[in-house]
Amino acid sequence: MGSQALPQELIRAKRDGRALGREAIQQLVAGISDGSLSDAQVGALAMAVFLRGMDGQETVTLTEAIRDSGEVLDWSDLDLPGPVLDKHSTGGVGDLVSLVLGPWIASCGGHVPMVSGRGLGHTGGTLDKLEAIPGYSVTPDTATFRRLVKEVGVAIIGQTADLAPADRRLYAVRDVTATVESLPLIISSILGKKLACGLDALVMDVKTGSGAFMPTHDASLELAQSIANVATQAGTPTTALVTDMSQPLAPCAGNALEVREALRLLTGEKRHGRLLRVTRDLAAELLLAGRLVDSLDAAETRLDEALASGAVAERFARMVAGLGGPGDLLERPDHHLREAPVIRAVHATQPGRVQAMDTRALGLAVVALGGGRCAPGEAIDPAVGLSRLASLGEAVDTERPLALVHATSAADAERAAHQVREAITVGDGPSTPPPLVHDVIRREAP
Same domain, yes or no: 375 and 284: no
Q: Give me the pLDDT at residue 159, please.
A: 81
pTM: 0.93
Q: Give me the pLDDT at residue 379, please.
A: 83
Residue 211 belongs to some domain of the structure: yes
Same domain, yes or no: 36 and 126: no
Residue 437 belongs to some domain of the structure: no
Cα–Cα dist 183/132, whole Å:
33
Q: What is the CATH number of the domain that holds 346?
A: 3.90.1170.30
C-alpha 164 chain-centroid distance: 17
Express each pLDDT in 126-164 by its tens digit. Answer: 999 999 999 999 999 999 999 999 999 999 999 888 889
Q: What is the CATH number of the domain that holds 29?
A: 1.20.970.10
Question: Given 332, 359, 392, which residue is the final one in a domain?
Answer: 332
Question: Given 332, 350, 366, which residue is the final one in a domain?
Answer: 332
Same domain, yes or no: 172 and 37: no
Same domain, yes or no: 318 and 388: no
Same domain, yes or no: 122 and 200: yes
Q: 387 in helix, strand or coil?
A: strand
Same domain, yes or no: 107 and 150: yes
Residue 285 belongs to some domain of the structure: yes
Terminal C-alpha separation, the chain: 35
Residue 183 belongs to some domain of the structure: yes
Express each pLDDT in 35-80 by its tens digit. Answer: 999 999 999 999 999 999 999 999 999 999 999 999 999 999 999 9
Same domain, yes or no: 189 and 219: yes
Cα–Cα dist 210/354, whole Å:
14
Sequence-distant (6+) residues with CB within 8 A of 6 are none
Residues serving a catalytic function are 86-89, 126, 174, 189, 193-194
Cα–Cα dist 93/358, whole Å:
11
Helices of type H across 122-207: 126-130, 142-151, 165-176, 183-195
DSSP structural state of residue 87: E
Residue 438 belongs to some domain of the structure: no
Residue 34 belongs to some domain of the structure: yes
Q: Taking all residues of the chain, what is their mean pLDDT, rounded to a whole number?
A: 94
Q: How many CB atoms lie within 10 A of CB 154?
A: 27
Supply the Cα-derived Rg of the chain in whole angstroms.
22
- DSSP characters over 4-44: PPPHHHHHHHHHTTPPPPHHHHHHHHHHHHHS-S-HHHHHH
Same domain, yes or no: 314 and 374: no
Same domain, yes or no: 316 and 342: no
Q: What is the CATH number of the domain that holds 164?
A: 3.40.1030.10
Same domain, yes or no: 323 and 345: no
Residues 210/363, Cβ–Cβ less than 8 Å: no
Residue 444 belongs to some domain of the structure: no
The b-or-e profile of 231-265 (16+ CB within 10 A means b, else e) is bbbbebbbbbbbbbbbbbbbbbbbbbbbbbbbbbb
- How many Cα neighbours within 13 Å face the side chain of 47? 10
Express each pLDDT in 293-330 by its tens digit. Answer: 999 999 999 999 999 999 999 999 999 999 999 999 99
Same domain, yes or no: 323 and 360: no
Torsion of CA 396, 125, 88, 278, to 10 degrees: -20
Range of the domain at 222: 76-332
Q: Give me the pLDDT at residue 418, please.
A: 97
Same domain, yes or no: 114 and 36: no
Q: 374 in helix, strand or coil?
A: coil
Question: Given 332, 363, 385, which residue is the final one in a domain?
Answer: 332
Cα–Cα dist 44/245, whole Å:
34
Cα–Cα dist 178/174, whole Å:
6
User: Which residues, given as ranges, of the chain have pLDDT below 70?
Assistant: 1-2, 119-121, 374-376, 445-446
Q: Give me the pLDDT at residue 35, please.
A: 95
Domain count of the fold of the chain: 3
Residue 433 belongs to some domain of the structure: no
